[in-house]
Amino acid sequence: MLRFLTAYRLGIRYSGRAVKIATRYLVRSMHLADIPQVLEIERESFPTMWPPTAFRRELQQNRLANYIVVVEHNPRATAQFDSGERPASPIGRLFGEIRHILGAEETGPLPPIEDRAELIIGFIGVWMMPDEAHIVTIATRESRRRQGIAEKLLISTIEASQARRQPLLTLEVRVSNGPALALYEKYGFEEVGRRHRYYSDNHEDAYILTTDSVLTRRFRERFERLRSEHARRWGDFEHDVR
């Protein structure tokens, strides 16, 4: 029994003597149809945040924005999502803009988690500027935390920055967010400043963090070691990031 429980956690399927590795997670670019689930995670992670992120505007209008999600596959479920995108009249577009301002992005109630064929379990948003990649948000579903998901999102962002030849990554983080600070320090982020009373909910300060160039040989060697350690601990993830 222990063998099969362990196999399930690792995504290994046994068929007689044959062993097949089944990848459970997919890292891919965010789609419009993901917005309801991403908002669900945002509310869970940042309950005092207002207004919510206008993800539709980010995906459709912000040329700098690059959003990545981690998807958990559930082959026993059949529920799919409709992005709700339909051709809009001028009046419809006007009301759409009003909804963006008010944060009303949902397209309807979500099915239970166990009924979703694709469960979004984490996301990251990055603005790809000419000489840096600025991380604007990152969050993981509460039930999937401490499973390497946030770290995988960060790894994917560093890979995207290297592919686009953008040397620096920057971000702001709450001064009290110990786990996040430890993760960023692990990947070479350093404190370069502090924004006082940065967060509107409790006026907490934010550290400004940045990396040295992610294009140098020294960074690449360290990054490759950390990426390999993550894969050994948490397994392989499929990738479909544009």
Place of tokens 């040329």: 63
Q: Is 114 one of the catalytic residues?
A: no
Residue type, 197: R
Of the candidates 67, 184, 187, 207, the residue annotated as catalytic is 184
Q: Is 184 part of the annotated catalytic residue set?
A: yes
**How far is residue 87's CA from residue 175's CA, in Å, rounded to a whole number?**
44
Identified catalytic residue from 106, 132, 159, 172: 172
Three-state secondary-structure class, residue 222: helix
Q: How many CB atoms lie within 10 A of CB 230?
A: 16
Kindly report the number of other CB atoms within 10 A of residue 38's CB atom.
23
Cα angle: 94, vertex 97, 98; to 5 degrees:
90
Contact 210, 189 (CB under 8 A): yes
Contacts of 60 (CB under 8 A, 6+ apart): 32
Question: CA torsion sign, 140 to 121 to 42 to 32?
Answer: positive
Q: Which residues are catalytic?
A: 172, 184
